[in-house]
Structure 1
Amino acid sequence: METCIFGYGTLIPKHYREHQTVAEISGFKRIFHPGDDYGLWYPFVIAKAGATCRGLLLRDPDGSLLASTDKYEGYPDLYDRVEVPVTIVRAAGMNGEHIMAPTKAWIYVPSTKTSSLTLDRIFKQMKKHDKDAYKDMMENDLWLEKMRRDHPQLLSIVPALFE
């Protein structure tokens, strides 16, 4: 059985050449702050009712990608892995072939340890010292802004990611 991974952060620039199916998950918000002050050089997703997050659907027919991604993402210490429903936004491969939509994919979410030791501390600092930065991070998708700026080729290869 084919496994799928939903890539919403650093997996996008790492895998966009091989995986160009844009998908969306509901109930999660991607958060990222580009400044050095808060130590978030990569994004996380947090559960948030009514939120959606777009990313790339990485197909893994033999399980090897899941194993290497677990290692890359620091699973299970930095991230936990949970299976979530996905909606396909744009289903075309590099050669334009039709791709059947899976119903679920693995997503990496902050582990309890990461949430309690890192994110909670960062959020408290931001709320106390830089409310505008916190508000900007929570209201906007600063990671996609970074992807647009740092990887402009994504705009033509996977434009649905930015819609």
Structure 2
Amino acid sequence: MLKPRGGQVLLDGAPVHSLSDARRAALRAGDFGFVFQDAALDPSRTVLDNILETVMYRGGDRSGATRRAEELMEQFGVGLRRTAKPGQVSGGQAQRIAICRALLGRPRVLLADEPTGNLDPASSDIVVGALHEHAREGGTAIVVTHDPALVARCDRRIEL
């Protein structure tokens, strides 16, 4: 969603490189969810506030988003950590919190970099199930991974 150095990026068939920075930022906030390999949580904010961060950028309803965030935290097994700071949770918990944040706004496109990299097999199953559910509900999940078990569960594979 940054200006490409070559080629072009199309969203719904329309080029986005010619849009203003503000319009591209609005598209990122409204249509995309991001799961970074290192979770990228703000260390000064609570787990719940890290998840709700996307609501600020989307201009959404905080109370409704809080209910959805709490549901996601329970689904991903981090509900008891809602008032903790990122430095007080494990790497696997931080990754699941980042996935909650990415799924909160039901984005059209979810981009995930090694979303199961810090997770045990049971937590990985929950994450992969959630990615499949996101796709069944009409979203798209694009996953970058080196994990053959995760690759095997994806609908399509593009190898670079």
| TM bucket, shorter chain | under 0.3
Structure with more relative contact order (C-alpha pairs < 8 Å, separation 6 or more): 1
The TM-score, its normalising length taken from structure 2, stands at: 0.27
**Which is richer in strand?**
1
